[in-house]
Chains A and B, each alone.
Chain A
């Protein structure tokens, strides 16, 4: 395995180099063991395509999204303004992130606090890389005859109307893409949004991720694809709940592409 090339903004600046795009890793992507694999898969793709990117490393901080969803506007704005100072210090223009929550907040909620950047989700970047020929997906036998279903992250889909990019990317794989009954605008939440990721659910009949996993299992998929580290956690837990983890993988779009493009 070749070593990952992950320059930081500080290194790039010290070397007098400019950066095309900032890869915002996010807290999940930095600390969560499962999400770190998604981060690395995306870096492999970026390295493979020679994308001139950098990360903030230890200068990165929470966007403030969970604070805002939980009603703590003070904390959100503190985080946002500190991050904006960092971005502006490095003259950041474009940001890519693998977390739809970070994506939504950076894209939609930072401008009113003075932070205006071109923010894209990693599935959109991968789509661009495929479209302009920088990334070739050789599905081969890996996905032949396999069924993939894509679970729409709320903050990518409904919140920002991005439904096609992840699907367009998945269609490049030599697999059968099947849709759950509740998909796209009607997609059912995994249960982690709105800061629910960090707390127990209120009393009810069922956990939301179980409801969603049941729906996915009806399709007998080989892979449940996601584009969000939180959704990934929730669906992985759901699949484990039904003891199906040996049959069904929960993978991020970046991981599927990194695998198919034979970068690993």
Chain B
């Protein structure tokens, strides 16, 4: 085994091992959330995943971004074939491992990857321009400064490097192969769609030794960027490339207007309405019951695992925020920020509990330290954010759970809403009208 193979294997195992370790931590952060049963309707769930994640159906609402995103998405998927070959070559010391076995199909696949890579390059420049030159408002909201802004650009820089390395590798190899100097078997042109003319055009005048060096730079550059990308991914918003699939699978299937039913409350209310219930009876003792669950959510542990998975799936595109009626009229609420806060808090709490033990609390909470009451009360529950999300994230469910905590645990709510509740209790209407007057409209002129 050559030194280059050993270096490759160590680098590969190191980066993928680190990625697996970080994914394990993220999974444990997601498990901070309460349980929710999403094991129903498997057929419908697979269909939703196929349509929304695989088929990108919700991206089409914004056609330019959708087309550009499709370029990068499809290029990413097909480039995996070339990546597998690079890994095989790296381990075995071969060059173009699949070429002889696949024959004409190989030429077709690599040609397709080249065309898609060019489209991905166009998309990369378009996205960089949209983020940095065109000043599209959703990329410049208050939550998109500092790290989130840099994160969005880093991914695009990596994408640019990746495509550059692919074309350097294939372009130089084409010239080398024409000269019979390539490490790949045979000689003459490879016949790949773009590098067969791009190679001679850019690299035709170069020395063979320079080309051999450039080809290796292209090859190593490509795999190093890929491994760097894998290592970087767990720290980035870019995790949506994986989470989009389970997230859409486990997304809410009921009508958007249907808010969750709180069963713990149902039991209490049934008891209150039951004329035969003994108000002084001690509650039945359940040995398996844990500590009583909080009403609503104060921290990420009060949310469901699906809510936290939503947060890790968010790629901060901001479609939710740009459609939010509260946000477009200048209120503090931004559904994207809600998701980013949930993720950041899950990271923080998960890290704390791993260091100090699961029973320990750090004295901080999602509500208060990350999300303010002002944000929570600005929501109109219109579902525009839920509708807009291309990967079926539901910020509204989280907002409502935060409201439930404020109202039912702390009685902290806008005074007008407290009056409204009193009116419903006393007058059976949110306004202070007498219930006896409910049918008066019938006889009014």
Binding site for B on A (CB under 8 A): 4, 6, 8, 25, 27, 29-32, 36, 39-40, 55, 57-58, 60-62, 64, 66-75, 77-79, 81-82, 85, 104, 107-109, 112-113, 154-155, 158-161, 185-189, 191-208, 210-212
Contact = CB atoms under 8 A, between A and B. Distances in A.
Given A73-B408, A199-B416, A189 B268 contact: no
B438 A158 contact: no
Interface string B406-445: 1110000110110111001100111101011111011010
Given A73-B295, A199-B414, A81 B270 contact: yes
A75 B380 contact: no
A83 to B, nearest CB: 10
B439 A70 contact: no
B383 A154 contact: yes
Interface in B373-399: 374, 377-384, 386-387
A66 B380 contact: no
A158 B382 contact: yes
Contacts of B441: 25, 29-30, 36, 39-40
Among the interface residues A159, A202, A212, which one has the most CB atoms of the partner chain B within 10 A? A202
B63 interface: no
A6 B377 CA distance: 39
Contacts of B437: 30-31
B257 A108 contact: yes
B129 to A, nearest CB: 24
A185 B421 CA distance: 31
10 contacts: A40-B441, A57-B439, A79-B428, A85-B273, A160-B257, A191-B380, A205-B329, A208-B329, A210-B329, A211-B325
A232 to B, nearest CB: 15
B108 interface: no
A205 B328 CA distance: 9
A78 to B, nearest CB: 6
Given A36-B444, A109-B261, A204-B331, A62 B429 contact: yes
Identify the 3 closest CB pairs spanning chains A and B, nearest first. A159-B257, A71-B403, A205-B330
B429 A108 contact: no
Given A186-B323, A202-B374, A74 B265 contact: yes
A78 B403 contact: no
A109 B254 CA distance: 11
Interface string B259-274: 1011001101110110
A108 B326 contact: no
B214 interface: no
Contacts of A104: 255, 257-258
A71 B326 contact: no
A55 to B, nearest CB: 7
B256 interface: yes
Contacts of B380: 154, 189, 191-194, 196, 208
Nearest to A193: B380
A64 B273 contact: no
A112 B261 contact: yes
Contacts of B402: 71
Contact of A186 (B61, B329, B413): B61
Interface in B109-139: none
Nearest to B431: A31
B385 to A, nearest CB: 10
Interface string B29-50: 0000000000000000000000
Given A58-B439, A74-B268, A159 B424 contact: no
B332 interface: yes
Given A30-B429, A75-B425, A69 B400 contact: yes
A224 B112 CA distance: 52
Among the interface residues A30, A36, A64, A81, which one has the most CB atoms of the partner chain B within 10 A? A30
Given A72-B407, A75-B425, A192-B380, A198 B325 contact: no
Contacts of A185: 61, 387
Nearest to A155: B257
B199 interface: no
B335 interface: no
Interface in B320-351: 323, 325-326, 328-333
B296 interface: yes
A27 B431 contact: yes
Contact of B417 (A25, A70, A160): A70
Contacts of A189: 325, 380, 382, 384
A106 to B, nearest CB: 11
Contacts of B429: 27, 30-31, 61-62
A202 B431 contact: no
B289 to A, nearest CB: 20
Nearest to B377: A202
A159 B331 contact: no
Contact of B325 (A69, A79, A81, A188): A188
